[in-house]
Amino acid sequence: MVIGAVIGVMLMRFAFPKVGKGAALSVGVHHGALTEGLATLMVVMVSLTLKKKEQGFFVKTWIASIWKMTIHILSSDMTGGIMNPASAFAWAYARGDHTSFDHLLVYWLAPLQATLVGVWVVTFLTKPKKTKEQEADKN
């Protein structure tokens, strides 16, 4: 996945040399990590919650798309709003700053932790409640 992202960025920069340079961290490292982490957490929680709902495909897709675009716009001024470590690495690799501690903390550690927390929270909050019949069956 990371190799594909790097190849995609290289091809994009070759085809469109005037295109942007990818995400740039314009706040402190801790604020950037918090921003990327919260953005990723919200996107993961909405995506997983929608996955468990029994609505139509187009409704789920529309809600998820609008939500992700909103979060991206809100966080793009501070961190670029990437929320995807592979994409962040590809743009950073193209710029040559992919080994900095700031990059690892903001674009790798925060989204990965937020994903794990989001999965745990959604699993905990949407767990079906046990009925008396299920508990009687256990005993």
Q: What is the pLDDT of residues 45-78, one digit of tens each?
A: 999 988 888 778 888 888 888 988 998 888 888 8
CA dihedral angle for residue 18, residue 90, residue 42, residue 128, rounded to 10 degrees:
140
pTM assigned to the model: 0.78
Give the pLDDT of residue 82: 83
Let me know if residue 112 belongs to a domain.
yes
Q: Are residues 89 and 106 in the same domain?
A: yes
| Total structural domains within the chain | 2
| Range with lowest mean pLDDT among 7-11, 35-39, 127-131 | 127-131
- Cα separation, 82 vs 127, whole angstroms: 30
Residue 114 has which token pair?
A: 């937020």
Residue 118 CA, distance from chain mean position? 10
CA geometry: angle at 106 spanning 46 and 80, to 5°? 70
The per-residue pLDDT for 132 is 65
Domain assignment present for 130: no
Residue 110 has pLDDT above 80, yes or no: yes
Choice among 61-70, 74-83, 90-99, 115-124 with the minimum mean pLDDT: 90-99
Domain that holds residue 94: 85-125
pLDDT number for residue 139: 62
Q: Please report whether residue 28 resides in a domain.
A: no
- Whether residues 91 and 76 fall in one domain: no
- Is 137 within the bounds of a domain? no
Between these two residues, 134 and 36, which has the higher pLDDT value? 36
